[in-house]
Structures are given as structure tokens and as C-alpha cells.
Amino acid sequence: MNESAETTGDETGDEATFERALGAAWHDDRAWELLTELTQLGSRMGGSPGERRGAEFVREAFLEAGVRDPTIEEFPMNYWERGTTEFAVTEPVERSFEAIALPYSAAGDVEGPLVDVGYGTPQEIEDAGEAVRGAIVVASTTTPPGQRFVHRMEKFGHAAAAGAEAFVFANHVPGQLPPTGSLKFDGEAAMPGVGVSAETHDWLAEYAEAGGRARLRVDATTEAGSSQNVVGALGPDTDEEIVVLAHYDGHDIAEGALDNGCGIATITAAAAVLSEIEDDLECRVRIAGVGCEEVGLMGAAALAADSDLESVRAVVNVDGAGRFRNLRTYSHSSDELEALASEVTNEFGQPVVHEPDPHPFSDHWPFLREGVPSLQLHSEPPAGGERGRGWGHTAADTRDKVDPRNLREHAMLTALLVRELSGRAVARIDGDELREAFYEQDYEPGMRASEIWPERWE
């Protein structure tokens, strides 16, 4: 056999191996099994014993998937623990409502006027004027159509800067589901904050319109603690690498199945596919399950701090994949990553929705802000679905919402994207251009209010 024929044969063999790995993925239950283990823990709150146990499950799953030397790496963080929460309208009637403290809420006992600022956009808070000062401010979890999504931390930060004494985050999804979500990254927030249901919000809007008052009491503590990442590798031991990560922590009020049990389950099943074709990978692929995303992206920040970021070709952040049927990709200002995602999904006949604009509220951010090209894999809610998190960050985020078929398909797509990316050189993200992209989306005021605007962008 001549040299050309041998080369063709090798390529055919590699492709056949990959096709066999994909075929096996169609009936691979490891994603569902890991999801089941994690959701049975009850709480995977950042820094908690449940999160630590979750890390051990992830390490075992990585090892079984063929990831090399998965290790648990600890890092320091501020551990927040909830106590009791009370919330009641005092005028024009006396009436108590169910509420839950939001992570990093300060402890406190606040009484004051009730002011509803609608969606809680910066303009609405500004329009409320002096009424916000000294008030208990109520804002919705969603954002009006036609503008970028305004994150909870932005709404809280703007309300605090305007002089509010407490913050009430009201779900827009019905079902008596008070939402949770961190008020700040890795530290106690400026004032108390709680979540209430959409049904409660209906009453609060009426009472606020009538000049009502309310009282809010939060008992919570923040103290020094630790969390952990689970990190291993696949492929050749090259100088350059791709980082594929997903957070495995969740909130203490739910099972955390959708957010982000699906994500960590997806990369575990993807790793099993990639381990079968390691010889086909052209650079090292670091696989990481990161902790403390929900309370401040601390695991991803620790991972980035321990990395030679100049050697990181790209980051693939699987936060939101596996939840719904169709893939959604965030390319965070990288035209090359958007094109790569289109190329792979088109080749395999998979629909995809692209979001090119960057955002800072997931685990890609500690890498992206340093110029590392970042691709976030999410999934598209059914047509006509509510804008926002849906069941995420509520007690309804449970395993029964997950379809195992979505986990399998998104694991295969993740593996396909990583395989292709391992052979591509991707341009770094220019810092000035990234900053301008955030300016164009009017992120600066909200990021400053959230205390996450990079100092070098001052």
C-alpha cells in the first residue's frame, strides 16, 4: 500500500472511531445518572457540604468517562447561609407573604414605603425618583421585549445606589414560585433582598399604587469558607489547550436540575465521546466542573487565575445546554466561534440560534475579560415561552423537567464542536473592542452598580 493510501486509511479509521463513539452516545445513560446523583443531594449551594459531595460525584463521573487524572482543587470563598425570612405588608392592610432571602443578602429588619419599579430597568428606577430613597423596592425578574436582558444584580445595584433600604425580586412566572439568585459576587450585599412569587407581586403592585408600606426581616450569615473545582484533561499534552467547563453547584431551595445539572451532565457525556477519539484531538482539552457559579463565578475565576491564559485557545462554557431541544450559542463577540458553531450544527442538521453579543454573567467571564475567545452553549426555550429563567432559580427546578434526549444530543454537539475547535486557531478578543461592545449594550451602569466593571476599563 502506498503512503497516500495509508493516510487515507488512517483518516477513514479515525472517522469510523468517531462515528462509533457518536453511535454509542445515543444510548449512553451517564448524563442522566450524574444528573440523578446531583439532584438527589437536595442542596449544592456554593461552599456547602452538598456542593462538596457534588464535586466528588463529578470527579467519579469524569474518571469513568475517560478524563485523565481528574482532581478536586479547593479555593477560598465567602459562604452565605440563610436563616429565617419574614415579609409583610403593613399598610393599607396587614398581610404576610411567603418570601425567601436572596444569596448574600445582608441580615436586617427594614420597614418602609413599598415602591414598585416595574421591570427594574435603570430608567424605571430613575423615573421613580426620590420615592425609592428609604423604600422597599419591588422589581420583576423579566425585562421588556426589545432590549437586552437586565440582570438581577444590575437591578439590585441600581436600587441600592438610588437609596433603597431593601429589595424584593418578584417572579414573572406563575406557580407560587419565589425566585432566588445572588445579589453580589462573593460577599455580603449592601442591603437585604428577598424573592417573592408572581402571585404575590400582583398584590404588591396594587398595595404600592395605594401608597402601602411593608416590613422585611432577613436572618442570614456570611463567613469565610471554601469551595472546589474538578479538573482533568483529554487529548495530547500540548502547550495550547481548550477549556471546556460547566458549573455543578446550584441553589439551596431546589434540585438544580436545569441550572446547571444539565450542563455538567452534558460535558461529562461529551467527555466520554472525546475520550474515544483522543488521537483525533489536535490540542489538549481541559475538562472542568466548577463550583460557586451561582454566587459569583468564583470557581471559574479560580480556574482562570491558575491558568496560563495566553495558552488557552478558547473556552467552551456549557451553561444552559441540555435544558431544551434546540441549541443556542453565545459567541461573545467572536465571529470565528459563531462561524464554527454554524458550520458544525449545519453539517449535522441541528438548528441553532446565535447570540453574538457578550455578557458577563456566566463562567466564561473570567476568561473573556482577559481576551480568551468564549463560546457559551445554552438552549432555546419552546416558541412562545416566557422570557427569563422559567423554572430556574425556583423550587420547581427539578429533574422531571429534563428530557434525557436533550442531554444526549447536546453532549454529542459539544463533542463535535470541541473536536473541530481543537484544530482551529481563533483570534483573541481585543480588549478595547470588547469594552465598546459592552458600552453599546449599555452594560456599563449596571456592571458598575454590580461592582463587576473591570478596573482597567476605567
Question: What is the pLDDT averaged over residues 242-253?
Answer: 97
Cell numbers standing for residue 44: 449544592
Cell numbers standing for residue 274: 472525546
Alpha helices (H) along 348-430: 365-368, 404-421
399-425 pLDDT per residue, tens: 999 999 999 999 999 999 999 999 999
pLDDT at 389: 74
pLDDT at 28: 93
Count other C-beta atoms under 10 Å from residue 209's C-beta: 10
How far apart (Å, rounded) are the C-alpha atoms in residues 210 and 312? 56
Q: Which region among 112-121, 158-167, 382-391, 443-452 has the lowest average model confidence (pLDDT)?
A: 382-391
Of 165, 167, 146, which is closest to residue 156 (Cα–Cα)?
167
Is the confidence at residue 212, as pLDDT, over 80? yes
8 vs 280, more confident: 280
How far apart (Å, rounded) are the C-alpha atoms in residues 359 and 452? 12
Of 450, 412, 419, which is closest to residue 30 (Cα–Cα)?
412
4-37 pLDDT per residue, tens: 334 344 555 678 888 898 899 999 999 999 999 9
Residue reference for cell 473591570: 454
Question: What is the pLDDT averaged over residues 218-246?
Answer: 97
48-97 pLDDT per residue, tens: 999 999 999 999 999 999 999 999 999 999 999 999 999 999 999 999 99
Residue 428: Cβ-neighbour burial (10 angstroms; 0-12, 13-18, 19+): middle
> Phi first, then psi: what are they for 6, rounded to 5°?
-65, -40
Going from the C-alpha of 109 to that of each of 156, 383, 391, the distances in angstroms are 18, 42, 29
Count other C-beta atoms under 10 Å from residue 134's C-beta: 14
pLDDT at 12: 58
Alpha helices (H) along 172-250: 198-209
384 vs 237, more confident: 237
Of 28, 24, 52, which is closest to residue 38 (Cα–Cα)?
52
Question: What is the pLDDT averaged over residues 183-188?
Answer: 95
> Phi first, then psi: what are they for 408, rounded to 5°?
-65, -50
Amino acid at 122: P
How far apart (Å, rounded) are the C-alpha atoms in residues 191 and 344? 46
* DSSP at 306: T
How far apart (Å, rounded) are the C-alpha atoms in residues 458 and 451? 12
Is the confidence at residue 2, as pLDDT, over 70? no
Cell numbers standing for residue 208: 404600592
The three-state secondary structure class of 112 is: strand
For residue 92, whether the previous peptide bond is cis, meaning omega lies within 30 degrees of 0, is yes
pLDDT at 7: 39
How far apart (Å, rounded) are the C-alpha atoms in residues 72 and 51? 12
Instruction: Quickly count helices (H) and strands (E) in the chain.
Output: 13, 14
Q: Is the pTM of this model over 0.85?
A: yes
pLDDT at 8: 41
Q: Which domains does the chain have, with CATH numbers?
A: 17-78+225-440 (3.40.630.10), 84-222 (3.50.30.30)
How far apart (Å, rounded) are the C-alpha atoms in residues 126 and 118? 12
pLDDT at 72: 98
| Percent of the chain topping pLDDT 70 | 96
> Phi first, then psi: what are they for 390, rounded to 5°?
65, -125
